[in-house]
Chains A and B, each alone.
Chain A
């Protein structure tokens, strides 16, 4: 009964956000065009940097454009998903709905999860738009892609990234703005995660650093599934690594969030902007 209620509440958040997004149809069109500009930039960059040395480092049968497109699309997924939870808190602060939500019979973790559902779904759609532009206009050809494998990587990535997102929200609830933890995670992930180049080009210490952040496994698995059409055997290590990250980060992040929530109720700053 209570889990059914939770599902209903989370779906209420989704329909709320969808209804609000329908009020901004122009933004949806502009975001689709923005994705086109991003994809086009990587296409022309790839034409410029194509070389035999680079080709040796890329997954078998893929081009730099395909490599960078997948990196760009899924790094975007990481950055928005890390920010989704604290963005939902910040938005509730700004439109002054947080207090009204907190006195309802819905616990804050459900409010947080519900508020992040629509951004995650919209983000998945945006990633599809990136890939679609690549296919339609720039010769990105994922004919041999293992789509089920890609979905498995995506779901495991969402769980791992959600842990980081809830940690980021804990910072947000305590200190309200200027979240350095988010930028450190994104900065390190952008540098060593393999968004624009394979991690094999990095010095050894940075390669080791790359092995302890989830985005590396997310990008490796996604490229293997989409670009090389890898089977479950090749994808499984990435899925397992992401699930281990999720198993560590999710309980840790919820414990941290619970502590942060209690502290702000003690300091009286829960609804401060």
Chain B
């Protein structure tokens, strides 16, 4: 049996408290006491779409940033395609594409094509391969016409599409998305959700882990849902399974019910 695309085992994360004034100088070595994740465990199978759902500050973004090798966990471990994100971060990075909905991280004076070529080079794709990759992702994201304009002239939605194109440049087997449709208009968001589910997950077998505040989006895309609150997993099941286990008719009411009456942690095991 092949290993899961993402395996998170008893992951804990504590941050040091925010210090100000002269005490800020001891911030880098301050004891981490603020809980962000408390022993989180789950897996994402190959070609599976899993949603992280929870209120603001629940730990969804922290979890995604640990998987994206931007944060080191306090305890536990996380593996991407079998590579430990802490001990084997370089190889783990070759496996995923990461994008956040509020992403504006581009060089405004360069064109979309120049930006993508630069980030392709950072992912070891150069020359003719880079051109082919850029053409492929630009077509997929519908930005071919705009690719030679400076990024500072792009609309928010267009910049967002460019960010997604960047995350897909190196054909990652895993996609980590933090609120992927946050700055898209409703039509573009619907289009994007359809492409994400049908093209990436279904046809190409990409594993998807995404955080979202839109329950309709979660219901449309996710095969399974991980409900997190205060750094703990409250539930982990298919949208239909969550409705069945709570006796609720709709996914939204099932989530509300679970947030009020969490499933005991032993039951999740």
Mark A residues whose CB is within 8 Å of B. Answer: 5, 8-9, 12, 16, 19-20, 23-24, 95-107, 174-175, 260, 262-271
Contact for A265 among B16, B71, B103, B170, CB less than 8 A: B71
Find out whether the CB atom of A174 lies under 8 angstroms from the CB atom of B93: no
Q: At the interface with chain A, which of B115-123, B179-187, B206-214?
A: B115-123
A-B contact count (CB 8 A): 98
The stretch of B23-31, B39-47, B197-205, B243-251 that contacts the partner chain:
B23-31
30 CB < 8 A contacts A-B: A12-B126, A16-B107, A16-B118, A19-B109, A19-B110, A20-B107, A20-B109, A23-B109, A95-B105, A95-B107, A95-B108, A97-B105, A99-B105, A100-B106, A100-B163, A102-B69, A103-B69, A103-B93, A103-B96, A104-B119, A174-B27, A263-B29, A264-B28, A266-B72, A267-B27, A267-B30, A267-B32, A268-B15, A268-B36, A271-B70
Given contacts A12-B122, A97-B105, A270-B70, contact A105 B110 (CB under 8 A): no
Alpha-carbon distance between A269 and B18 when the two chains are bound, in angstroms: 10
* Beyond A23-B109, A97-B105, A100-B163, 4 extra complex contacts between A and B, CB < 8 Å: A8-B121, A16-B110, A104-B119, A266-B71
Question: Does B35 sit within 8 A of A, measured CB to CB?
Answer: no
Q: How far is the CB of B68 from chain A (nearest CB, A)?
A: 5
- Set B24, B109, B123, B126: member contacting A104, Cβ < 8 A: B123
Q: Which of A24, A103, A107, A267 is the one whose CB lies under 8 Å from B28?
A: A267
* Residue-wise interface mask of B (84-116) relative to A, using a CB-CB cutoff of 8 A (1 in contact, 0 not): 000000100110101010011111111000100
List 8 tightest A-B contacts by C-beta distance, closest first. A104-B122, A12-B121, A23-B109, A100-B105, A96-B105, A263-B28, A97-B105, A265-B72
- CB nearest to A2 among chain B residues: B124
**Given known contacts A95-B105, A97-B105, A268-B62, A8 and B126 CB-to-CB distance under 8 angstroms:** yes
Contacts of A99 in B (CB 8 A): 70, 100, 105
Do residues B71 and A268 form an inter-chain contact, with CB atoms below 8 A?
Answer: yes
Please, how many angstroms separate the alpha-carbon atoms of A57 and B108 in the complex?
A: 51
Flag whether B166 is at the interface (Cβ < 8 A). Answer: yes
- Cβ–Cβ contact B110 & A102, under 8 A: no
- Interchain CA distance A130-B141 in the complex, whole Å: 48
* Chain B residue at smallest Cβ distance from A1: B124
Task: Determine the chain B residues whose CB is within 8 A of the CB of A101 once the complex forms.
Answer: 122
Residue of A nearest to B150 (CB): A23
- B106 in complex: contacting residue of A23, A97, A263, CB < 8 Å: A97
Which chain B residue lies CB-closest to A266? B72
Q: Which residues of A contact B117 (CB under 8 A)?
A: 12
Provide the bound-state CA to CA distance between A21 and B260, in Å. Answer: 55
Minimal beta-carbon separation of B170 from chain A (angstroms): 8
**A267 contact set on B, CB distance < 8 A:** 15-16, 27-28, 30, 32
Report chain B residues within 8 Å CB of A8: 121, 126
Nearest-Cβ distance from residue A83 to partner chain B, whole angstroms: 20
| Contact across chains for B119 and A262 when beta carbons are under 8 A apart | no
Give every chain B residue within 8 A of A104 (Cβ-Cβ). 93, 119, 122-123
Task: Report the bound CA distance from A105 to B171 in whole Å.
Answer: 13
Query: How distant is the Cα of A2 from the Cα of B83 in the complex, in angstroms?
Result: 20
Chain A residues, CB < 8 A from B114 = 16, 19
